[in-house]
Each structure stands twice: as C-alpha cells, then as structure tokens.
Chains A and B, each alone.
Chain A
Amino acid sequence: MEKWRATSNLRRSLKSILNRQLSSVSEFRYLNEKRSCQSSFNLIRDCKSLGQVNAIQHRCFSSASTLVQRNPSFSTLNSDDISYFKGLLGEKSVIQDEDRLETVNTDWMHKYKGSSKLLLLPRSTEEVAQILRYCNSRCLAVVPQGGNTGLVGGSVPVFDEVIVNVSSMKNIISFDKVSGILVCEAGCILENLISFLDNQGFIMPLDLGAKGSCQIGGNVSTNAGGLRLVRYGSLHENVLGLEAVLANGDVLDMLGTLRKDNTGYDLKHLFIGSEGSLGIVTKVSILTPPKLSSVNIAFLACNDYSSCQKLLMEAKRKLGEILSAFEFLDTEAMNLVLHQFDGVRNPLPASMHNFYILIETTGSDESYNREKLEAFLLSSMEDGLISDGVLAQDINQASSFWRIREGVPEALMKAGAVYKYDLSLPVEKMYDLVDDMRIRLGDLAKVVGYGHLGDGNLHLNVSAPEYDDKILEQIEPYVYEWTSKHRGSISAEHGLGLMKANKIYYSKSAETVQTMASIKKLLDPNGILNPYKVLPHSLNS
C-alpha cells in the first residue's frame, strides 16, 4: 500500500518536474536557503537509514528543484473574488494597498517575503468562516496571520496566498475572577492581556520578548513557550478551550472553561501548535495564575557550563515551588546586548564571565521568599557554583535584568545576518553543541548561545555581517544531525513554519509524520491553510 502511494507520488513529482520546465514558476524569494538542495541530499541519507520508502520522492524532488514551487492546484485571485470579499467584509477590511501589503508580506526577521496581493481583516468568527468557505470553494490558498512575530517564516505567504489577519478581533470576552479563566478573541495582543489581568490580580501563564506585538491566537497556534514555562507549564496545560474555523468554513466550538472534561477526543490539542495548518483559531479560553506579590530576581555569573547545570539542579531543589524562571546567556550574547543597546549596563562589570544566569522567584510572602533566595545564592556562592551575582532591589532593577535577556534576539537582528536555531537537548549536552559550532565556524561567524536552561531549550544563533552560503553549509545539516543523534528536538518552541518544513524527520518518525499528513488531509482536503509549511513538501498532494 505504501509502495503504491510512493510510486504514484513519484509519478506526480516527475510530472511536476516536466511541468516546471513548461510553465512559468513564480520563484519564492528564499533569501538564505538557496542550497536547500544540498540539505535535502543529506536528508536522503538519513531517511535511507530510517528505512524510508519516501526517500525515493526526496531524491527526485531535490535533484529537480532547488526552490519551493507554487502549487498549481491553487487558483489565482480575480476581480470577482475581490468584490465578494468587499461585499462580505466592507471596503475597510479588504486591503490591496501596496505599502500595507509590503509589511504583512515580510516576517519579523526580514528573512522571508511573500507576494500576496490581498489582506483581509475579519472582525468576527462568522466572517472568518465565510472567508474560508469561499476560499475553499475557489481553491485559494490562505495564510492565517496574527502579530507576525514568528521566527520560522510561518506567518507570511510563500507566494500569493491570501492573508487572513485576525488583529481586528481583539475583544476580551469574559474573565472569571474566582477561577482566573480568561476568554478572549485570537487577535488580543499578549501585553494588553497582561495589563488587563494585572488590574484583576492575575498574570498570563506565558511571557515572551515579543509580547508587545504577538497575539494570543498566534501564541496558541504555535504553542509558544517563553520565559515562565518552567513554572506554569506549556499552553497545552493552560488552554482550557478554543474556537477554531476549519478550511471548509465549519466552526469548531471547543471553547470550554472547565478544568476537567473527559468527553471524547480532546481535539483542541491538535490545533495548539499546528501553526495554522489545521484551522484558524478565533477564540481562546485560558487559565491564568494569580499574581503573587513577591517577585525576586538575581543575575549571576558562572565560570563554566557544568556549574550552570549544578546550579539548575540546586535551584530546583532549594527554591522548589517559588522558582519561576531560569535563563542563561553566554559571554557572546552579553557582549552583543551591551554593544547594540545604549542604556543597558552589565550588572556584573568587574570582569567578563563565561556564563550569566538569570533566576526569578515568585511567591506570596516577601520576606520568606527573599530569605530563601538569599540563602540559596549565598550557599551556591560558598560551594563555588557562582562566581559573582547581584540581587535586584526594586522592580526597576528587575526590568533591567530582563531587558538584557529579552534583548538578545533584538541585538542579534541589529548586528546583521543571523541564523537562528531553537533546539531541545539534554541539559548536560546543550553547550557542547555551541562549542562544536564555534570550532566548525572559526572566524566565519560568531556563535551565540542563550536560552531557557530550565526547560532544556537552547537558542543557538550564528551571527555574521551578511548572509553567506559558506556559513550555512557549515551549520546545516550538522546542527540537525547533532540534535537528532541526541534525540533532541530541532524546534523546541519556534515551530517548523517554512524554515524547517522538510526537517521534521530529524525529530519524528516516518509513521508519525504520515499520520500527521493524514490528519491534515482530513481537516483540509484542498490544502489551502498555510501551505508549504510544517509538514514536508513531498507529502502534499
């Protein structure tokens, strides 16, 4: 059965190769992955070792094309479509203006740029449903978009997909002060939700550097992690319900507000992390923890990575229930931040240390928690785990510590070209990869390591003045193979998007991926939702 499917896919790929030479292919501007061909060849080696029939497809695909091709089964927009949308949504919500399209076609990192000619701004779930119903019937590809802060090119069109942006759906529907359950629309900006909850005495269970622009619908669709995961868990744990619109316009109302509900298959988990490829999330119901008054934060320096690990173990044991964040950055990251931003000063200026750790505790009793933290820090210092450290005395100092850690991605952007990798690795091995990469790249580029040490999540970034294939060759597929060898994840929290759409096999088995493809086919038979992303291109019909 599988072999038959493989050969029919093979036939289809061969056909598309022939068609490619005959028809005009709209090239997708893939600024730094011109050599995806090479990486696919290496993928074949791995797939062969996994005993994959799909390997045959890959070989044909990669040898024939080096770029993503526009799927010819998608229609092109025409004036009837535009009139329909204008009639449905009103003139103001149908945008064809070039300047506005320019912004929504480009991702935050300015790495991916699509060529969509239409931006739609629905204001209600019903409007989203009608848009999708129409697009499905016309076979028009759609990109769901929120704050457009994703880092893997998942929120912008690849070709001329219609952009459905939910930013206008930004109402807070309800908030229960007793249980802390918040129900809101998908376009609510995370920072606005945080401020709203602040007035009520609650906080959002997730917090990330992009909070000023990212929207909760996007956070849920990408299962965003962030800085507080070590304390409050992932969105799979905190989202109690959601409402999503399927490709054919059907609205799935799973907007429960119950902590416990074991009635049937829990479908909401499919949508959390599916990156908009199974449906558009329009409403979210989320459990918010109470805001605790005592927040303390320490900025520490360690001499080597093994001290960082031991410190993490000790922190989990001694700080236990009050630990709310455990982040690390290396010297390179610290230098970058100090260099790129004025007004940011190093809390530990005495000398440049090798590693910096940021520990935050949140609890309800100020003096008790402070004593606990101080005792832990002093004993760690006596044990030689920390070489120096400071404790924030007020919220201003606390924000300045967070500014350093949250500012690293921004600083990397300002420094020039950056190759970003987001990996989950066993904590003991995490920094070995950074050292390896430094040796591999030598003088070609700067390797920066930072991330959520508490969750085993490394953000490996390679910074260079310009994008250069020589650099990319040294990084990929070495990084993915290294991660795969240690049974890590090639995308801890950023998702697959477009950047890693063909790389899923490094972290998931073929059978698993095949089942994912079946689910995608079931919920989106025409493949109009966020095409070319998440799952390997070869699995699309």
Chain B
Amino acid sequence: MKIMVAVKRVVDYAVKIRIKPDKSGVETQNVKMSMNPFCEIALEEALKIKESGLAKEVVAVTMGPSNCVDTLRTGLAMGADRGIHVEAARDLVPLSVAKVLKKLVEVENPGLLILGKQAIDDDCNQTGQMIAALLGWPQGTFASKVVLDKEKQVATVDREVDGGLETLCLDLPAVITTDLRLNQPRYATLPNIMKAKSKPIKKYTPEELNVKIKSDLEVVQVTEPPKRKAGVILSSVDELIDKLKNEAHVI
C-alpha cells in the first residue's frame, strides 16, 4: 500500500510574527520557515505505518513556489521515499489544494491520505475534509490514534472531539487528519539527510493536472488583535464602584 502525505511550508511555530506595514498579511521575509507541525505528525504516522510493514511507500506532497522544496527535503530526510512538488503561486486556499490533491490521488493511487488537521498560518482546518468529499472517501479527522488492519482493509481511528474521544472504523482508502497527541515526530538524522539528497522529487504544474486555481476569497486586511491593557490595582471598594460606574459604565 502506498501512503500519501500532504505537507505545508509555514512560518515556524516559535517565531513572533509581525504584520506587514500595509496590513496585507503577515511578514514572511527573513523569517524562519519550517514544516507545519501537524504535517510533521502526519508524516511521522505514515513512516510508523511503513515501518510496521503495513505500507510499502510514503510519498510527500507539497504545493507552492519553489522554496517549498525545502519542506519536501525535510520530509525526505525524515524518511519519506519520494516527493512531489506542485508549482503554484503562494497562498493557495484549501479548496484549490483539495482539487490538486484529488488529481494526484488519481495518478498515484494511495491506500491512505494523511494530512495535518490544520495549517498554523491560516488555521482553516478544511483541506482534509474537502478532499475526502471530492474523492468520496471516508474521513477520520483530529486523529489521536490510528490502527490499521491490513486484512480487513480498515483503519480504526480515535478522534479528539469536544466531548472526549470518538472511535471510528473507516474502510480503506481513507483520509486521516492528525492531531497533536498522535505521535512525536522524529529528528532528521545525518545519514537520512545524506540519503534524502538522492531521493526523487517530481514536479507538476496545476495545468498539467487539469486543475484551475482560482480563489473565491480575497484577504482585505490583516491586523493585530488589540493589545491587552495593563490591569489597575485599586485600594478600596469605593474606588472600585467609582471605576465600574464612571469608566466601565457597567453599573
């Protein structure tokens, strides 16, 4: 069985982000970029499944401008066998990503498609669900545990939902999106980094896949949330009542 993992290049999670002066978006020049943490977890899960003998190959996929290849290299250094890079302009919306993925799935025929539950730059949490709908495949989202059964060709997924944990049984092929507690991603060791240099990366363009990239959304403005004002320490109940009445206007 082949597993396909979609990974995204985002601003590193530990960076203190700044808004561009023209409020059109987040500053990404000269800022550390890395693989989306949830995508790392997705790739780690795929590698674990391959190591347990239930899959033969792990293919990492990414979409975007040419610097996205760095993320693919990280994926290959972690242990993926092949990479696919779909060249496209920046800032693809989830629906476009899902449409491209659908075409790639038709080409590659994986038994399992694993993605991170959301990207930390847009927090959309839509791609996994959309691709499952486009393909007509079952989906197990927010997975915190995945167990594959090869004979019965099903995946048992524990999902983290608001009420607790929900366990689903999905017929393969299926789409799984990963949540934080699924696993701890491995480090890229030097021998693997060396091997990654010779692993193949195939390039596609959306035209080759017959997908029209268009966005129905336009980002109008990006602003910082209002800064929290410092608290004030009051010295008496009278002062408190005075402030509530005259400043906060709540009584």
- Complex Cα distance, B78 from A298, in Å, reads 15
Instruction: Kindly provide the distance from the CB of B26 to the nearest chain A CB, expressed in whole angstroms.
Output: 15
Stretch at the interface among A182-190, A220-228, A315-323, A389-397: A389-397
CB neighbours (8 Å) of B188 from chain A are 390-391, 393
List 9 A-B residue pairs with CB atoms under 8 Å apart, sorted by A's residue number: A198-B16, A294-B32, A300-B190, A377-B190, A388-B191, A389-B189, A394-B13, A395-B12, A395-B15
Which residues B190-246 have CB closer than 8 A to chain A?
190-191, 193-194
Q: Return A382 CB to nearest CB of chain B, in Å.
A: 9
A381 and B190 within 8 A (CB): yes
Q: Chain A's interface: helix, strand, loop or mixed, by majority? A: mixed
Q: Is the CB of A392 within 8 A of B190?
A: no
CB of B14 within 8 A of CB of A394, answer: yes
- A298's nearest neighbour on chain B, judged by CB, is B190
Tell yes or no: A209 within 8 A of B by CB. no
Decide if A393 touches B184 in the complex (CB within 8 Å). no
CA distance A367 to B73 in the complex (A): 12
| Contact-residue bracket for chain A | 20 to 34
A374 to B192, CA, bound (A): 12
Q: A198-B16, A199-B16, A367-B70 are in contact. Are A393 and B190 (CB under 8 A)?
A: no
Q: How far is the CA of A309 from the CA of B16 in the complex (A)?
A: 36
Contact pick for B14, options A294, A347, A399, CB 8 Å: A399
Q: How many whole Å from A445's CB to the nearest CB in chain B?
A: 33
Pairwise interchain contact B189-A393, C-beta atoms closer than 8 A: no
Cβ-based interface call for B34 (8 A): yes
Enumerate A370-391 residues with CB–CB distance to B below 8 Å.
374, 377-378, 381, 386, 388-391
The listed residue (B14, B16, B40, B190) touching A390 by CB distance below 8 A is: B190
Q: How far is the CA of A300 from the CA of B191 in the complex (A)?
A: 12
Q: Which of B15, B32, B35, B184 contacts A366 (CB 8 A)?
A: B32
CA distance A280 to B40 in the complex (A): 51
Task: For A199, give the chain B residue with the smallest CB separation.
Answer: B16
A144 to chain B, nearest CB (A): 30
Give which listed residue, A298, A299, A391, A393, contacts B35 with CB less than 8 A. Answer: A393
Q: Is B31 an interface residue (CB 8 A)?
A: yes
Classify chain B: how many residues form its interface, as a range: 20 to 34
Tell me how far the C-beta of B78 lies from the nearest C-beta in chain A, rounded to whole angstroms: 8
For the complex, is B110 an interface residue (Cβ under 8 Å from A)? no
Is the pair B187, A390 in contact by a Cβ cutoff of 8 Å? yes
Give the contacting residue for A293; candidates B31, B37, B77; CB below 8 A. B31
Question: Smallest Cβ distance from A418 to chain B, in angstroms?
Answer: 30
Convert A349-372 into 0s and 1s, putting 1 for each residue whose CB lies closer than 8 angstroms to a CB of B: 000000000000000001100000
A397 to B16, CA, bound (A): 16
Task: Decide: A395 and B34 in contact? CB cutoff 8 A.
Answer: yes
* Chain B residues within an 8 Å CB radius of A198: 16
Complex contacts, A394 vs chain B, CB 8 Å:
12-14, 32, 34-35, 37, 40
B150 CB to nearest chain A CB (Å): 28
- The residues of B that contact A367 with a CB separation of less than 8 Å are 70
**Complex Cα gap A392–B37 (Å):** 13
In the complex, which residues of chain A have a beta carbon less than 8 angstroms from the beta carbon of B37? 394, 396
A345 proximity list for chain B (CB < 8 A): 184
Q: How far apart sit A3 and B191, CA to CA, in the bound complex (Å)?
A: 68
| Interface: A206 (CB within 8 A) | no
A395 and B32 within 8 A (CB) = yes
Is there an interface contact between B14 and A396, defined as CB atoms closer than 8 Å? yes
Binary CB contact string for chain B from 1 to 44 against chain A (1 if under 8 A, 0 otherwise): 00000000000111110000000000000111011010010000
B101 to chain A, nearest CB (A): 23
With beta carbons under 8 angstroms apart, the residue of A381, A392, A396 that contacts B13 is: A396
A390 touches B194 (CB 8 A): no
